[in-house]
Amino acid sequence: MAATGYVPSYYAASAHAAPEHRPLEGSIEADVCVVGGGIAGCSTALHLAERGMRVVLLEEHQIGWGASGRSGAQAIQGIASGQAKLDRLIGPQAARSVWEVSVEGLALMRQLIGRFSIDCDWVDGHMTTAVKPRHERELRAELAELRDVYAYPSVRYVPREELRSILATERYLGALYDTNSGHVHPLNYTLGLAAAAQSMGARIYGGTRALSFSQVANSKVRIATARGEVRARQLVLCGNVFLGPTAPTLAAKIMAVATYIVATEPVGAERARSLIVNNAAVSDMNWVLDYYRRSADHRLLFGGRVNYSGLKSFDAPRATRARMLGVYPQLEDVRIEYSWGGDVDITLNRAPHFGRLAPNIYFLQGFSGHGIALTGIAGKLVAEAIGGTAERFDVFARIPHADFPGGLALRRPALVLAMLYFRIKDLL
């Protein structure tokens, strides 16, 4: 059943039926108000409701409307900044704790999918591919670190000859194959989390933007909406770049980056299997990376364009298809049936940004393209913190974050110049 109100993606066209959440009208009370109906917000609501708290979730559009419901959908361990940078930022012990949480995030996804019977096409397996000799060296170093330092057993190196029997392309020199990571239908997963939260007693309101929030009497927070308000003991902000003026302090720490995906027409089971024999998700190691996977109905879903400028002038579907043909030229005859894009949030250091604006106001943002697994476990961590056990949440809150330079006027041009450097590096 096609979902309405979303970007015209393959995910929206193949989404399961879901209830329509009415807007909030009037004043209501809650223990916790969650803002944002993506994976982070729905997981937060679920884990708080499981603790017996009265939870209200506000979503400006529909559940999964943002990045959670239209992403590349690759659930992987680690964070976007990488462990070496995290070691420098918070020290090796805390960095290891962050990595362990990311691995737990994968286990949590499997647990929630099984426990709540979420029909979301989960598939085990992810491959990180080397395009250049230096990528090969980096992958082998990463393999050694994962095995020797982190005791992570589910990865192995795939040499070029074997890789060509798995991926029907000449593009890659080798790959790191992780059987513990995977891929999923992200919108159906997010809708399933929302349904699980509701089954535990959470109240969800759609079409309801949180316009502002303020501290009021009795240590409560008032969250104002167009036609009502929520008064809650605690507030959790999970809106990322879509919060905007609702939380300008947070907006300064993240930047909206547009990403694009295309979905081919169904190519049939045999042809789809020939492209990715092991059905793993795949991403390369370039800064402007290609990432792709098979769908349950035998399409290729391919992402490979990023727009840092904020301009809408270039032909993203054509450019993304060209990147797809650079990997799989044998798909020249295959029609693109869906193409879509949207904003994700990145931080300056590419590490996730969790913390508090006040003792009773929490936030989760800055997943920087690594959000499918990490957002879900982030919701569990903030629920733990609100429940009185904040140690794991506070490890993430220790990660330092700077504002993007240049203020509102110059921050995006500065980012474009920086990204040009990395794009040139990709070509070398």
419 within domain boundaries? no
CA distance 342 to 240: 13
Q: How many domains does the chain have?
A: 1
290 within domain boundaries? yes
5 within domain boundaries? no
CA distance 265 to 243: 35
CA distance 121 to 187: 11
CA distance 319 to 305: 7
CA distance 367 to 306: 16
Instruction: Give the 3-state secondary structure of residue 245.
Output: helix
User: CATH no. for residue 70?
Assistant: 3.50.50.60
Structural contact between residues 266 and 297, judged by C-beta atoms closer than 8 angstroms: yes
Give the residue ranges of DSSP H helices in 149-181. 160-166
140 within domain boundaries? yes
Structural contact between residues 153 and 177, judged by C-beta atoms closer than 8 angstroms: no
Length of the chain: 428
417 within domain boundaries? no
Instruction: Give the 3-state secondary structure of residue 75.
Output: strand
Lowest mean pLDDT among 27-31, 46-50, 215-219, 300-304: 215-219
421 within domain boundaries? no
Q: Which domain does 229 fall in, by range?
A: 10-410
**Number of alpha helices (DSSP H) and beta strands (DSSP E) in the chain:** 13, 17
Residues of the chain above pLDDT 70, percent: 91
Lowest mean pLDDT among 180-184, 377-381, 401-405: 401-405
86 within domain boundaries? yes
> Residues 239, 242, 246, 247: what is their CA dihedral angle, to the nearest 10 degrees?
70
Ranges of beta strands (E only) in 308-380 are 336-347, 353-358, 361-365
Q: How does pLDDT run across 91-121, given as a tens digit for each residue?
A: 999 999 999 999 999 999 999 999 999 999 9
Please tell me the predicted confidence (pLDDT) of residue 404: 83
| pLDDT surpasses 90 at 412 | no
Neighbours of 305 (CB within 10 A): 23
Please tell me the predicted confidence (pLDDT) of residue 306: 65
428 within domain boundaries? no
| pLDDT surpasses 90 at 255 | no
Question: What is the β-pairing status of strands 291-294 and 228-237?
Answer: unpaired
